[in-house]
Structures are given as C-alpha cells and as structure tokens.
Amino acid sequence: MLRDVVNFRDGALDSTAGFEFAEDDAKARLMDAVFDQFTTLMQLAKFYYALDRKLERGVDLATVDPQAVIREEGLETPEPMSPELLSHGPDILDKLPAYLEGTAYPHMPDGIALEDGAGQGLFVDGFSRHFKHLVVLDISMVFLLLARKIAQERGRTNVTLVCGSAERLPFADEAFDFIQSNNVIEHISDQPAMIAEAYRTLAPTGLFFVRSPNRFSLYREPHFHIPAFGFIPKRIREKIIWKTQNRDQANVALRSLGELRKLIDAKFKCAVYSFIPATLRKTSLGGGWRKAVVTGLSLPGVGKAVDLVINKFALGLMPYHTVICWKQPPAHRSV
C-alpha cells in the first residue's frame, strides 16, 4: 500500500499499451516524498507535470531532488481546485437522467460506485458526494496519488483507492451499483476483457457508463488533435504524428461506433448509444462545438431534427459516443 492505495497490479498479468510500471513507480515515489507538503491537488499535479518534463529531457528520475523541483516550480503556495475541475462529476450525474429518458430503467443508483480507470481523479469529488461509497481504480499509482490528494483536499472520506487493471478487476461479482469508464477504453489493450469485467462486477440493477472517442469523427481527435483522424490511412497518420508530435499512435486504440457496439453488445443486452441527450439544455464542459449542438437541440421546431442527426443518422461521425448499459431491466425500450 501507498497512501492507503491498495496495489493489486501484477507485472506478469497486467499490461496496458504505452504504460511503463517502472516509470510510474519512480514518479510515485517522488510524489509520495512531497505529498504531505502539499494541501491541494494543483500543487501535486504541477509537481507531476514537472517530472514528466524532466523525463522528456532525458533526466533520470533517480537523480531528481524533489525539494529542488518544488523550489524550481514555485509550488509552495496552495492553489485550490477551480470550479471547472470540480464540475466533472456533477456534469455526468446531471446528464444521466437525460441519457436514460425513454427507457424503462427505473432509478438513478446511489449505492457503491466504481470509477473504472480514474485518470487524474477529477470525478472523485462529485461522485463521492452522490454515492454512499466510491471505489477508484487505475493502473497508475501516480494518478491514484492525485485522486488521494483530491479526496484529502475536499474532505471526502467515503473513497477507496485501488491500483489495478480494468481487464482484471480485483472485486467480487455484482459489487457495484454504478460503474463509469470515461475515455478509458481506447487505452485498454484487451477491450473485450474490460467490458466482461465491468459486466461481472455490475449489480443486476446497476448502470455502466462508457464514453469512447470516435475513430471516425470529423472533429479533432482528442489525443492527437487531428481532424478526420480515422479517415486518414494508418501509415500516413503514423508519419504525421511522429513528425509533428514525436509520439506513437499505437498506444491509443480508438473504436468506431460499429466496433464499440460489437464490444458492448457481446455482454450487455440493454444499451443506449448517443452523443448528447436530446433533452439536454446546458453543458458545463466542452467547447463551442458541444454548446452549439445543445443550442440546436433547444430550438423550437429544430430540436427534433438536430436530435435525429446527431444521435441517429450521423451518430457514427460524432466526436465521441456515450453508452449507458445495464443487464436485464423489465420492458426495456431503446431510444
């Protein structure tokens, strides 16, 4: 354990494209060394970004003096989380009823939730306020230290942090009333195993929320910021990304709408696929594109046509896909 984060990773069994266990452990040790000196997420996050920049310059982390990093980056002063950072959890939870409108799913779960692939933990505050208990899982100990700092800064005590693989969840069958996997699936090596594990650990009346960037979006791809990413031949994409960003695209496995349906439908018999809910009238996150769509949905006489375009006819070209899945509700009616 590290900072009450339970570590279930197994180097022989767990692997994620582009993830280096040794590098993650080295950064985690340095972050642990300064953890108690910081009272806010932003201090620890900026320390983490400083370590990444040193790695990019070829610095051996074993030679890094953490106190020197604090002085170099000016991290002595606390910097509270901004309202925008705190809005991630409530934004999803507020949208869920709109996503579920028109289905027979009976209620919003509020029991035990799993954040399945937490990233930097930005859903921790909002989810821990809604659910009785929140379990946060990620394969990166570094990200879980950031999540721990969020829980500490916000005074959330109903949070358990677990370092492990989404492809091999260390939890009992039917343990969770709600599971979220938000922009995670494209980073998973064995995506069918991830979906199967979510199905196994989801309660019979639970909800599984999946958000997946679309391989065939006409908009800018979120990892490499290239428009129409999936329409560009792979070899040309590889050359563009390597030349302009010095990166390897093999670490991101985007799925089209059809491919995502195949993955989800292999396990879940009840799923609603959409981009933005038809009844959504405001969004706290996202840029001009998302706000323009929400505005179009709210226009009298036009909203229904916009909904048909973005959530049905052109859904396969939208920037991302949101899927709400559950197991066997009565009289399910898809939208």
pLDDT in tens, 229-250: 999 998 998 888 888 888 888 7
Does the pLDDT value for residue 321 go beyond 60? yes
Residues 6+ apart with CB under 8 A from 181: 116, 117, 166, 194, 198, 208, 209, 210, 211
Does the pLDDT value for residue 69 go beyond 60? yes
If you average pLDDT over residues 261-281, what whole number do you get?
91
210: β partners: 181, 323
Does the pLDDT value for residue 288 go beyond 70? no
- pLDDT band (50, 70, 90) for residue 287: low
- pLDDT band (50, 70, 90) for residue 106: confident
Residues 6+ apart with CB under 8 A from 245: 224
- The 10s digit of each residue's pLDDT in 252-263 is 899 999 999 999
Pairing mode, strands 270-274 and 320-326: antiparallel
CATH class held by domain 83-215+254-326: alpha beta
Which long-range contacts does 126-130 make (Cβ < 8 Å, 24+ apart)? Answer: 126/86, 126/87, 126/88, 126/89, 126/90, 126/91, 126/92, 126/93, 127/89, 127/93, 127/180, 128/89, 128/154, 128/156, 128/158, 128/159, 129/89, 129/156, 130/89, 130/93
Does the pLDDT value for residue 201 go beyond 80? yes
If you average pLDDT over residues 75-83, what whole number do you get?
95
Domain boundaries, the chain: 19-73, 83-215+254-326
Give the rounded percent of residues in the chain with a pLDDT score beyond 70: 95
Does the pLDDT value for residue 151 go beyond 60? yes
CB atoms within 10 A of CB 301: 6
> How much is the pTM?
0.93
- The 10s digit of each residue's pLDDT in 132-142 is 999 999 999 99
31: β partners: none
If you average pLDDT over residues 47-61, what whole number do you get?
96
3 state SS of 104: coil
pLDDT value of residue 300:
82
- The 10s digit of each residue's pLDDT in 3-24 is 999 999 987 788 777 788 999 9
CA-closest candidate to residue 186, choices 139, 251, 231: 251
Does the pLDDT value for residue 78 go beyond 90? yes
